[in-house]
Structure 1
Amino acid sequence: MSLTRREMISKLAAGTALGLGTLGLGLGWLAGPAGAQEARTVSMDDVMAAGVEDEHTLGDPNAPVTIVEYASMTCSHCAQFDKETFPKLKEQYIDTGQVYFIFREFPLDPVATAAFMLARCIEDKDKYFPFVDALFQTQQAWAFGGDPESGLFRMAQQVGFTREKFEACLTNQEILDTINVVKSRGIEEFDVRSTPTFIINGEVVAGALPFEQFEERLRKHLPS
């Protein structure tokens, strides 16, 4: 039986609230823009162990630098990073074998959760990052245009979703659980507090830095 939009969104909201409630956190605490934070480091062994089986990655796993991004699809700072910084990062460091990039879901609301679920449901895995990029590029239109479910469906149609497949994806408990696990581990193990948050060879960097500033952080970890 097909679910109504309200039923789909309610189920997503319940799943997200469950994940946050277990940690005693509220959406308001998580949704603020990333500001300057005290420098800190985490173990890269722990960071890599926290990944799920279906990690979304780009580049050479043996690259000297590994960057993990925790992002939300409805985060304007994440969209800014995707538009302004990531293309240069990919061209100059990921595509040249110097950086291994891992993208992890950290949805701040049910709409972001739905977007991540759709990305995971794409059958052609080579289309995952192009779809994520398209969502970031058009974020204002689909996420904040007053009807995010219709906006997401229009975006999903561009990568082959039918209405039936769209609804099946958004009611897939296994995919929802996987996304919640990724997010929960980010909070519990690495104290991720906002999006975007990056871990660069163990150094935690919060915020959508301009490319020049991001590159400065990155180059510290490259072999001399």
Structure 2
Amino acid sequence: MSLFRRTLILAGIGLPASALLDLAVPGSAFAAAADPRMAVRALGPADAKVVVQEWFSLTCTHCARFSQTAFLEVKSKLIDTGRIRYEYHDFPLDQVALTAAMVSRALPPERYEPFVQALFASQDQWAFSQSNDPQVELAKMAALAGMSHDVFQQTVADQGLRQAILDEQNAGQAKYKIDSTPSFIFGKTLFSGEMEYDTFLQKVNAAAA
């Protein structure tokens, strides 16, 4: 999904990109110290030779398709075997995706990845239904993940968490020149767009060389 389809949620963030790069570098100690919910969410060993970042939006259909296809092999063959460390980075392209990202990060870290995968698997039902309110459907999904109704309401109204996600998104965009989702960073190399497992593996091998 193109960056140009974003709504104006990123307008008026306040700090210039140069300042955001200093204060909110993805996965930085600053972000985690400011709000533990902003600590990096990752799979795989911390000392893996290759770190792969995925920048994604929970309402991106391309991200959802990657999650349900190539990522299954990525997880079993590259993450679970310790070849790579896989980091998730939010790049919400609309208000619904931003709310979903907030809820995802408010869950305990061990529930984050299963919840994200569940959201991608049911994207049509909670994000794009013509008859249902996305926030109501998201609340149902959060309840299944163990989040109480009160915590859900507090989370979606949390302007500090909202701003923290937007700040990191803006910093990542400035640093890596991301303009679409999904975007992947293999070590230091950016690749934007959906890909098959074989292409993903080639990028990992090149980063490890």
Q: Smaller-chain TM-score range?
A: 0.7 to 0.9
Q: Percent identity?
A: 32
Cα pair distance change 1:93/1:84, threshold 3 Å? same
1:57 maps to what in 2?
Answer: 42
The total of aligned residue pairs comes to 184
2:175 maps to what in 1?
Answer: 189
Query: Distance in 2 between the 1:199 and 1:192 partners?
Result: 10
Cα pair distance change 1:85/1:156, threshold 3 Å? same
- The structure number with the bigger radius of gyration is 1
Match of 2:118 among 122, 125, 134: 134
Query: Distance in 2 between the 1:118 and 1:141 partners?
Result: 17
Query: Distance in 2 between the 1:219 and 1:20 partners?
Result: 38
Q: Is the 8 A contact 2:44 2:80 kept in 1?
A: yes
> For structure 1, which segment, 200-209 or 146-155, has the greater mean C-alpha deviation from structure 2 after superposition?
146-155
Question: Alpha-carbon deviation of 1:222?
Answer: 2.5
Query: Distance in 2 between the 1:112 and 1:119 partners?
Result: 10
Residue 222 (structure 1) aligned with residue 208 (structure 2): yes
Query: Distance in 1 between the 2:8 and 2:146 partners?
Result: 30
Question: Alpha-carbon deviation of 1:72?
Answer: 0.2
Structure 2 SS opposite 1:220: helix
RMSD, matched Cα: 1.9
Question: Alpha-carbon deviation of 1:49?
Answer: 4.7
The two structures have a TM-score, normalised by structure 2, of: 0.82
> For structure 1, which segment, 184-193 or 127-136, has the greater mean C-alpha deviation from structure 2 after superposition?
184-193
1:19 maps to what in 2?
Answer: 10
2:19 maps to what in 1?
Answer: none
Instruction: List 4+ stretches of structure 1 deviating above 6 A.
Output: none
Which segments of 5 or more consecutive residues in structure 1 lack a partner in the other structure?
1-15, 24-45
Match of 1:156 among 124, 142, 160: 142
Question: Alpha-carbon deviation of 1:136?
Answer: 0.4
2:101 maps to what in 1?
Answer: 116
Query: Distance in 2 between the 1:127 and 1:172 partners?
Result: 20
Query: Distance in 1 between the 2:13 and 2:78 partners?
Result: 38
1:88 maps to what in 2?
Answer: 73
Letter of the 1:139 counterpart: Q
1:27 maps to what in 2?
Answer: none
Query: Distance in 2 between the 1:49 and 1:220 partners?
Result: 25
Query: Distance in 1 between the 2:144 and 2:49 partners?
Result: 36
